[in-house]
Structure 1
Amino acid sequence: MNANIDQFVAVTGASARDAKRFLEKYKRLDVAIDAFYGDPNALASAQRSGVSTTKITQLFDQYKDPLSGDDMIAVDGTIRLCADLGSDPADVVWLAVAYELKSPSMGAWSRKGWVDGLKRLNCDSISALQNVLVQLRQKLSQDPEYYTQVYNYTFEFSRQPGQRSLGLDDAQGFWALLIPHGLQGGALAHVQRDDDVDMTGEEGWKEEHTQWWLDFLNERGGKGISKDTWQMFLEFVRSIDSKFEKYDAEAAWPSTIDDFVEYAKARQAS
């Protein structure tokens, strides 16, 4: 759905909200686009709300690092941007913004990613971006597919240059932001397996399990988290039962997760 929304917005210039509305009604992308162009009210609304590439570029230049030869907004510019938005730089929503604007690294933004991303979000001012932050925070909390996309992108953009794994401290910090947010809104709702005998009333990952995971990683030590462990952990959180009884140790889980299940069972029994 998200890919179709992006394409609908790119073709029509409509808002993401209107794109979703037409796609949910007409199902197919081509049919939805035809219906949009056949609706004079929707077309007029899109024309009125069209964003200005010039304004988006000016906004980029306002926060661009003037001392750097790179055409980038760096960390200092991002801090100023957050101050103008009244937003905490450590808010989980900035991981969604990083995904939307294809941030190349933490706290940095390229001109192309900035312009393309804000056009897609129908946003060309600070006030519009404030509204977008509210929308993205809600979407990240409630939309499982979108949550997965942001979660996976977080690993990619936050690694140190040349490193295949994500630093342990960074990984723990991101998990501490992402997991509670997804649990709160339902994006990390428990998914029961088809082979479960009882498919009703099963509880999944609980809030305290996130702290258990972080405690386990601290006790275990190590320098980093592999991409495989990062991605599989998300599936694990969505599928594991609250008592860790249905964990399949014979499945292809990373050894870190195998060890954590034993740790969690022992902690529950104590």
Structure 2
Amino acid sequence: MSRRSAADRALEESVAQFCEFTAATPKEARNYLTKYKKLDSALNAFYTDPNMFGRRDTGPSTSKLGVLFDQYKEEDGDDIGIDGTIRFCQDLGVDPEDVVLLAIAYELKSPRMGTWEKKGWIDGWKAIGTDNIAGMKTSLLRLRDKLGSDPAYFAKVYGHTFDFARAEGQRSLAIETAIAFWQLLLPTGLQGGALAHIRSRDSDNDQDMDGEEGWKPEYNDWWFEFLTQRGGKGVSKDTWTMFLEFVRTIDSKFEKYDMEAAWPSTIDDFVEFAKEKLASGGA
């Protein structure tokens, strides 16, 4: 009997937490907890499908998102700034330099680092499907996985990152800045499959079936070394954009690179650099 009572008390505590996190009714909370047993699994299922048990879905609350935004907003401004971003990340339990924040920046249409505008915040979180910190934490897990594994989504976040990272009024990214963001994005895409090798520049869905190797993780460091040695004013949007296609299509020995194609000169020069690396054993 005591074991059963302890289980009942644990369930009631989970129901209370579920309701606090989701604004669901106790009956709805019990349905999810009965099916999924653990609180985190039940919460994840709720945010994935709030109508699973016939719940009338009213969607995330604009007013709740507005109140949450105001908690982080600068006192003397209209946007969330650096300080608010740091507090928001602390509440989410995520490092401000975590790659998943780039996905959030894309979803919320953040115009630049450390800045979140109210319209983008509300529209973005409503599209994601949550209006509270618990739901946002769960959404981070889903978006992190999607960023690493979905080539189309990775490309969207990657494209937004250039404008997000660019200093206001500048047309290019400082080399150090570009490298810092590539260091976040490239390993994520390579490990998760979003940057899986493809055979053709013409078809992003033509997955390599003949065993041809593509871009290797160590080539990331070669690229950074090349850019640092080369110097220059920065990384143009054209180079940033085309580099994504280059990584996905180049063979591991750089033999199939077409110097006559419309690649940026920076990538042309890197291919020569990489071939020299390969010839010398990668030293």
Superposed pair shares fold, TM > 0.5? yes
Unaligned 5+ segments in structure 2 are 1-45
Q: Alpha-carbon deviations, 1:106-125, whole Å to 9, x = none?
A: 01100000000011111111
Q: d(CA) in 1 for partners of 2:112 and 2:178?
A: 14
Aligned amino acid, residue 205 of structure 1: W
Q: d(CA) in 2 for partners of 1:166 and 1:65?
A: 27
Unaligned 5+ segments in structure 1 are 1-14, 19-40
Paired residue for 1:208? 218
1:223 paired residue among 223, 230, 233 = 233
**Aligned pair in 2 of structure 1 residues 16, 128: CA closer, same or farther (>3 Å)?**
closer
* 1:16–1:121 Cα contact (<8 Å) kept: no
Paired residue for 2:64? 55
Deviation of 1:16 after TM superposition, in Å, equals 8.9
Q: d(CA) in 2 for partners of 1:64 and 1:104?
A: 15
TM-score (structure 1 length as normaliser)? 0.81
Paired residue for 2:260? 250
Paired residue for 2:192? 185
Q: Alpha-carbon deviations, 1:140-176, whole Å to 9, x = none?
A: 0000000000000000122111111111111000101
What is the aligned-residue RMSD (CA, Å)? 2.2
Q: d(CA) in 1 for partners of 2:259 and 2:47?
A: 42
Q: Alpha-carbon deviations, 1:4-36, whole Å to 9, x = none?
A: xxxxxxxxxxx9956xxxxxxxxxxxxxxxxxx
Structure 1 segment 14-29 matched on structure 2, within 5 A = none
Aligned amino acid, residue 52 of structure 1: S
Q: Alpha-carbon deviations, 1:88-142, whole Å to 9, x = none?
A: 0000000000000000110110000000001111111111110111111000000
Aligned amino acid, residue 175 of structure 1: W
Deviation of 1:209 after TM superposition, in Å, equals 0.4
Q: d(CA) in 1 for partners of 2:136 and 2:52?
A: 22
Do residues 88 (structure 1) and 98 (structure 2) align? no
Deviation of 1:193 after TM superposition, in Å, equals 2.1
Larger radius of gyration: 2
Identity of aligned pairs, percent?
61
Q: d(CA) in 2 for partners of 1:161 and 1:134?
A: 31
